[in-house]
Amino acid sequence: MIGYLTGKIISKKPTQVLLDVNGIGYLINISINTFEKLPADNLQVSLYTYLNVQENALTLYGFSALAEKEMFELLISISGIGPKLAQGVLSGIQIGELREAIKSANTSRIIAVPGVGKKTAERLIIELRDKVEAISIESDSGSSASYSVTRDAISALTSLGYNAKTAENAVRKALSKNPSSLIEDVVKNALAVLNS
């Protein structure tokens, strides 16, 4: 089982990265959250990996953080959720926010993730509510803001008329440029991103 790889980025796109590990190229499927944390091409990167074995294919999935890999493994343990959908879920929501949504039974937030319907969201909550607590959420690289500040900033932007996805992307960009734990700063910086 391949659990971890360190190598040079040959090429990358939002859902895949090609990694040169000692002259061997590994094509690794990644979430958008991991993609956003990757350095430029030709630089070294380390990824936690999960090898999905099927009759006709071996597929590698990569994660910038151990918590993301742990959440991925929990997601695919649920009947009806395969690796592709799990990758999509992790692309559509931050791990900490997903954990909070599962713990608080916030179906509407989980349904907002593309590809996830009401029944799947309910199954996620029922089957994972007691398991997600074990996942240790590190702070995002470049961001010291708590998930509640992030959530509140997104909520503030949606109340100003921005859609949830646009608001979430703006808050992420704002936090990566200017990490802050003050909601006022996060909202102000996100508005600057939206208006640039």
Buried b (16+ CB within 10 A) or exposed e, 138-168: eebeebebebebbbbbbebbeeeebeeeebb
pTM for this model (two decimals): 0.69
Which stretches within 18-146 are classed as H helix?
Answer: 32-35, 66-76, 83-92, 95-103, 107-111, 118-128
**Tens of pLDDT along 118-143?**
998 899 899 998 888 777 665 444 33
Q: State which H helix or E strand residue 172 sits in.
A: helix 164-177
Top pLDDT among 101 and 133 is at 101
Q: Which long-range contacts (CB under 8 A, 24 or more apart) does 188-195 make?
A: 190/153, 190/157, 191/157, 194/157, 194/162, 194/166, 194/170
Answer for the pair 12, 27: CB distance below 8 angstroms, yes or no.
no
Whether 146 has a pLDDT exceeding 60, the answer reads no
What the block records as the tokens of 109 is 């937030």
